Amino acid sequence: MNSRLLSNPSSSLQQSGGVFQASRGGTVRIHGGQFVQHNQAQGSHNCHDADDGLKHLQAHVATTAFDSGQHVDAPKCHPNTRQAVLDEIMKWIVLAVARVQWVLWLNGAAGAGKSAIGRSIVELCFQRNIPIARFFFFRTDSTRNNIKPLVATLVHQLLQSIPDLTPIVIPRIQRDSLIFTKSLETQFEYLIFDPLRELKRQSSFLRMLVLFFDGVDECDDHTDQASLIRIVANFVGSNSFPLIAFFASRTESQISTVFRSSAVAKVTRQLALDNNYLPDDDIRLFLQDSFMDIKNTHQFRSLLPIDWPGAPDVQEIIIKSSGQFIYASVVVNFISTPDLHPGQQLEIVRGLRPCGELTPFAQLDALYRHIFSQVRDIEGTSRILAWSILSQYKDLSFCAEFFELQEADVFVALASLKSVIDYEHGPIHFLHASLPDFLLDRTRSQEFYIDRATWSTRLSIRKFKFLALHGHRGYSDIDDYIAEAEATPALQECVLSFDPRQIDWTLGHTSGRGWAVYLSAIQQMDFGDGVGGCAYQQQLNVVVRYLSESTPSYLNEIEETHAIADILAQMDVEYFSTWKDASARQKWQNIKSINHLGADVSIAIQDLFRSEIEARDSDWTAREADLRRVLNQEKEVALKNALAAEREAHDSERRARDVEIREEKAAIERRWLDREAEIRREEREATKNQRRVPGAETHLEELGSSEHRKARETEVQHEEWGALPVAARVIRSRLARLFKS
């Protein structure tokens, strides 16, 4: 154990869980493989008994929060790095023109180097004689991971930088010995803000004063974080004293919310540590200098090649750093371990050598685990992260659609990871390229482990269901996830029910290589019937049939790794069995038997002949349709002719019947006329002889009744054919007159 890291190396240590307790109230914490002791003030301090204001103040100061020699604290920026951002911050601090923004918020991803920049700014302020009081929060140090010692620590530094404040502040502490137990706002107002106003009234102190708060996100209470920012921003914004405030933190949601509020935003300038400051160039310089130092000073330097490390190795570290200094720093610390070979250590970092019991990324892993411990729904968040890691598509809207979520649900699930993941400006992007490595390694991520096989299986099942419901949406191919999935009953059920011919591929399609990979993955799965079992055979059959109809050229890639000849042969049998030309079918069989011309030529001939037969069949089908159309037309004409002939025959029969009726009625009329003439003649003879013909009236009446009945029957018959002839009406009229007489 390095004794320099212990503030009291001679004290005896007792182990309690993972923390060693020092004998005189100190706490020794293990961090990154090192022991760090945080001593408490010796003896107990009772605020009620405080009679010396200065001692009372010092009892509440957290020395490590502003002047720490602990190994765990970030060092200042490496020489000649971060120069652009340092210059920009210092220009803001010494601004000569009228100031509008009294608060600066330096924000960035976890491990971006904010604390190192802050410590460099403190040093630059000292060099320029600019008073600066600072507080470095640190989550694993109980003396500075909360706001209790904050005001006392700031006041202690202000008294050192501005001695004129001492006669103002100390009496206040003596008058209110319980001031350090009161609210944060009360402490700020009573011990800092009001004394500064009084100082301004009493003296001509006009120098700019800086308050610097680093790692605000590492304060253990989110409410306290927000309160601190609001209290300080409100005072500096009032312009009642030449004071500016400098905050550095991650872009966590609770902090971003405060800085977006109107009261704070109007006096705040935000400075993001992004790629605009070319961090890769700074990281490269840091690595080059660090490796040069190792080659010059390490005890195993003679074992290192002259060109060690190679340029590709350095570039790999830069890429993994993703613009964040913490990864490069952790790598350098691990490689420079004094009693281990630097070359072998670098191979462990690159994954080329097993690490054994070594933990090359212990510090980085501790940071990641702390961040993930803040996630409320780790299952839902892990689902989205697994999709992002295992899928080639990263768009947040795709993710929401794939899981049938609202985009807001994805935002909420990732809200606690804003310091390591960016998702508000397009695709889901890991700010640390090393984060997926952490999540996919059980020994590193522990309870946050994302098992690649398990999640590949779950995502594959989800993919099959999504395709069945929505079709292909232009992202996430069929071969995604399946290659690393496990053969489970649920996955087997999805595979057996999948038929690409029933999927809507309007918005996208899978490549031939993708289908080959998919089939190979299914082939390697054992669903209880061995490798290449029923599920594979069934999928091979449906995929080949689908591709033969949609994109036959893809079959060439399928045929490279899968035996599809039998399926194609069966499809041919099914296909040419419908051909109408028997000679064509025989010719097709002959062409299929051609092998000596080579596969490509044979396939070309087969395709050509297939096209010819299809064209012929199409022509026959068209001709058959034409013949049926003509036949239908001829049938229609024949039916019309038959109806016309039947109608003509009916009309002819009617006309003949009309003639017969007219002739019969004419005969009746003639008989009536003849009989009438005969009766009149007999009447004249009777008159002449002065006697009536006996029974003549009765005979005439009977005759008239008989003839009337016949005429009426004839009339009824004729009414069925047309109007009653004029002759019949005449006869009836005459008979009526005869009966009357």
Question: Tens of pLDDT along 252-288?
Answer: 888 999 999 999 999 999 999 887 888 899 999 999 9
The residue whose two tokens read 């990641």 is 368
Which residues, in sequence order, are CB contacts of 177 under 8 Å at separation 6+? 47, 48, 50, 56
Query: Which of 400-409, 444-453, 571-580 shows the lowest per-residue confidence on average (mean pLDDT)?
Result: 571-580
Same domain, residue pair 319 and 382: no
- The pLDDT tens digits of the residues spanning 118-140 come to 999 999 999 999 999 999 999 88
- Residue 248 exposed, middle or buried by CB count within 10 Å (0-12, 13-18, 19+): buried
3-state secondary structure at position 103: strand
User: What CATH number does the domain containing 253 carry?
Assistant: 3.40.50.300
pLDDT tier for residue 15 given thresholds of 50, 70 and 90: very low
Same domain, residue pair 262 and 320: no
Residue 518 lies in a domain: no
- Rounded to the nearest 10°, the torsion over CA 728, 733, 734, 738 is 140
Q: How far apart are CA 486 and CA 465, in angstroms?
A: 17
Same domain, residue pair 139 and 180: yes
Q: How far apart are CA 616 and CA 585, in angstroms?
A: 12
Q: Residue 550: what pLDDT?
A: 84
Helices (H), 593-695: 599-688
CB 473 within 8 A of CB 490: no
Same domain, residue pair 373 and 346: no
Final residue in a domain of this structure, among 330, 358, 386: 358
Same domain, residue pair 260 and 350: no
Which helix (H) or strand (E) element contains residue 732? helix 726-740
3-state secondary structure at position 656: helix
- pLDDT, greater one: 586 or 362: 362
- The pLDDT tens digits of the residues spanning 391-438 come to 887 788 888 988 999 999 999 999 889 888 888 777 888 888 889 999
Cα end-to-end span (Å), the chain: 163
Give the number of domains in the chain.
3
Q: Which residues of 76-113 are buried (b: 16+ CB within 10 A; e: fewer)?
A: bbbeebbeebbeebbeebeeeeeeebbbbbbbbbbbbb
Which helix (H) or strand (E) element contains residue 586? helix 582-592
Which residues, in sequence order, are CB contacts of 458 under 8 Å at separation 6+? 383, 386
Same domain, residue pair 351 and 411: no
φ, ψ for residue 335, nearest 5 deg: -70, -30
- Average pLDDT of the residues in 76-82: 88
- Could you list the residue range(s) of the whole structural domain that residue 440 is in? 365-450
Q: Residue 50: what pLDDT?
A: 61
Q: How far apart are CA 156 and CA 165, in angstroms?
A: 10
Q: What is the DSSP string of 391-433?
A: -S--BHHHHHHHTT--HHHHHHHHGGGTTTEE-SSSB-EESST
Side-chain-side CA neighbours of 585 within 13 Å: the count stands at 11
Residue 348 has pLDDT above 60, yes or no: yes
pLDDT tier for residue 675 given thresholds of 50, 70 and 90: confident
Residue 28 lies in a domain: no
- pLDDT, greater one: 636 or 227: 227
Residue 539 lies in a domain: no
Same domain, residue pair 203 and 255: yes
Chain-centroid distance of CA 101 in Å reads 38
Residue 407 lies in a domain: yes
Residue 474 has pLDDT above 80, yes or no: no
Residue 294 lies in a domain: yes
CB 120 within 8 A of CB 131: no
Give the pairing of strands 19-22 and 27-31: antiparallel
pLDDT tier for residue 47 given thresholds of 50, 70 and 90: low
- The pLDDT tens digits of the residues spanning 145-178 come to 999 999 999 999 999 999 999 999 999 999 998 9
Residue 94 lies in a domain: yes
Final residue in a domain of this structure, among 450, 468, 493: 450
Q: How far apart are CA 267 and CA 100, in angstroms?
A: 6
Residue 649 has pLDDT above 50, yes or no: yes
Same domain, residue pair 267 and 317: no
Q: Residue 134: what pLDDT?
A: 95
Same domain, residue pair 304 and 393: no
The letter for the amino acid at 367 is: L
3-state secondary structure at position 16: strand
Q: Residue 652: what pLDDT?
A: 85
CB 387 within 8 A of CB 436: no
- Average pLDDT of the residues in 676-700: 70
What's the mean per-residue pLDDT of the chain? 81
Final residue in a domain of this structure, among 358, 389, 407: 358
Q: Residue 68: what pLDDT?
A: 65
CB 214 within 8 A of CB 150: no
Residue 724 has pLDDT above 50, yes or no: no
Long-range Cβ contacts of 734-740 (<8 Å, 24+ apart) = 734/672, 734/676, 735/672, 735/704, 735/707, 735/708, 735/711, 738/676, 738/700, 738/704, 739/701, 739/704
Residue 562 has pLDDT above 70, yes or no: yes
CB 568 within 8 A of CB 548: yes
The letter for the amino acid at 666 is: A
Q: Residue 22: what pLDDT?
A: 38
Q: Residue 23: what pLDDT?
A: 35
CB 360 within 8 A of CB 345: yes
pLDDT tier for residue 5 given thresholds of 50, 70 and 90: very low
φ, ψ for residue 711, nearest 5 deg: -65, -40
Q: How far apart are CA 484 and CA 500, in angstroms?
A: 21
Residue 577 lies in a domain: no
Same domain, residue pair 69 and 212: yes
Give the pairing of strands 13-16 and 132-136: unpaired
Q: Residue 635: what pLDDT?
A: 79
Residue 247 bridge partners (DSSP)? 105, 213
- Average pLDDT of the residues in 590-610: 53
Categorise residue 450: left if φ over 0, alpha if ψ from -120 to 50, beta otherwise. beta
Q: Residue 638: what pLDDT?
A: 81
- Average pLDDT of the residues in 471-492: 83
Residue 466 has pLDDT above 80, yes or no: yes
Residue 318 lies in a domain: yes
Q: Residue 6: what pLDDT?
A: 31
- pLDDT, greater one: 633 or 342: 342
Residue 449 has pLDDT above 90, yes or no: yes
Q: How far apart are CA 485 and CA 377, in angstroms?
A: 24
Same domain, residue pair 266 and 306: no
- Average pLDDT of the residues in 598-611: 56
Which residues, in sequence order, are CB contacts of 286 under 8 Å at separation 6+? 78, 81, 325, 328, 329, 332
Give the sign of the dihedral formed by CA 621, CA 623, CA 626, CA 630. Answer: negative
Q: Residue 603: what pLDDT?
A: 56
pTM beyond cutoff 0.75:
no
CB 183 within 8 A of CB 149: no
Same domain, residue pair 157 and 231: yes
